[in-house]
């Protein structure tokens, strides 16, 4: 089988796997815990129908703008899924929920600013819209890789099992994000052809879909009972927060730093 046929087969396989993920999540009620990821799965089926139709029966210009419009939609979805995964991981830690949401809003703003700076400092780019979306996508890919590394490093301390659905979602996106960044770097250096890069991306993406399908089959929606360690940690985080009416985070951080320095001095004494 030639490379274009392999590429087409891997592409056509995606909506079938997404449909399987969506059906299993709905039957096991996982869509209630991960509504954004479930919506993303359903959206990918509709996106494939539009993209495949435009690719087959429309002009290159129409496919170009359709492709980048789809990428922009997926970037928003994937960033929200990152937030959804972290919300699920930090569910027992009420003290970190508001802080995590604020950090994700700032991260979105920083990614937008980075893309604007890169576009303005690179006058050779012919299509600012496509390049802006590409920069944002790569920023999200880096965050996805970091999310997996964070969960691998701290899953034991946070009481997160590797069998948990949120861990599987993060792992799947992390695998594809790493491959996407690697293939983009190799392609930009002219080490491999675009067809080989697309096959590698589609292959890893298919593996991620199979991983999400397996995790969906292994998991079901359950009533989460907080464990003792998260309760103690959350109580400690809540205790060190200053009891002020101000909503600013600066007094809280100052209080935490002062408390840490005072403890260090007590240990030295």
Whether the Cβ atoms of residue 112 and residue 139 lie closer than 8 Å to each other: no
Q: Is the pLDDT of residue 70 over 80?
A: yes
220-261 per-position pLDDT tens digit: 765 454 444 455 445 544 554 444 444 445 555 455 555 655
Tell whether 100 and 138 lie within a shared domain.
yes
Average pLDDT over residues 37-64: 91
* Same domain assignment for residues 198 and 83: yes
Residues 189 and 252 in one domain: no
- Indicate if 141 and 162 belong to the same structural domain: yes
What pLDDT score was predicted for residue 57? 87
Residues 77, 192, single domain; the answer is yes
CA distance 198 to 3: 10
Residue 157 has pLDDT above 50, yes or no: yes
Residue 33 is given by DSSP the state T
CA pair distance 228, 230, nearest whole angstrom: 6
Instruction: Taking the CA atoms of 193, 196, 199 and 204 in sequence, report the sign of the dihedral they define.
Output: negative
Structural domain of 231: 227-269
In the block, which residue shows the tokens 């089988």?
A: 1
Q: 160: alpha, beta or left, given left = phi > 0 and alpha = psi -120 to 50? A: beta
CA distance 200 to 212: 19
Output the domain CATH number for residue 183.
1.20.1070
pTM for the whole structure: 0.76
Same domain, 147 and 266: no
Q: Residues 209, 107: one domain? A: yes
| Overall number of domains in the chain | 2
Position 132 scores a pLDDT of: 76
């Amino acid at each position: 089988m030639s490379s274009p046929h392999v590429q087409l087969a891997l592409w056509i396989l995606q909506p079938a796997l997404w449909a399987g993920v969506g059906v299993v999540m709905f039957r096991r009620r996982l869509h209630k815990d991960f509504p954004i990821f479930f919506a993303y799965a359903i959206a990918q089926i509709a996106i494939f129908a539009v993209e495949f139709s435009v690719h087959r029966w429309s002009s290159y210009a129409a496919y170009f703008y359709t492709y980048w419009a789809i990428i922009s939609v997926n970037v928003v979805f994937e960033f929200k899924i990152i937030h959804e995964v972290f919300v699920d991981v930090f569910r027992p830690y009420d003290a970190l929920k508001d802080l995590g949401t604020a950090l994700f809003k700032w991260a979105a703003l920083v990614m937008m600013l980075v893309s604007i700076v890169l576009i303005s400092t690179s006058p050779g780019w012919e299509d600012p819209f496509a390049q802006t979306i590409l920069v944002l996508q790569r920023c999200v890919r880096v965050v996805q890789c970091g999310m997996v590394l964070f969960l691998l490093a701290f899953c034991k301390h946070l009481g997160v099992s590797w069998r948990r659905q949120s861990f599987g979602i993060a792992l799947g996106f992390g695998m594809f994000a790493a491959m996407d960044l690697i293939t983009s770097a190799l392609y930009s250096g002219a080490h491999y052809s675009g067809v080989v890069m697309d096959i590698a991306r589609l292959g890893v993406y298919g593996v991620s879909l199979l991983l999400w399908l397996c995790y969906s089959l292994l998991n079901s929606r359950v009533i989460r009972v907080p464990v003792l360690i998260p309760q103690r940690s959350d109580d400690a985080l809540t205790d060190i927060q200053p009891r002020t009416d101000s909503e600013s985070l600066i007094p809280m951080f100052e209080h935490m730093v002062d408390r840490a320095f005072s403890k260090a001095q007590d240990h030295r004494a």
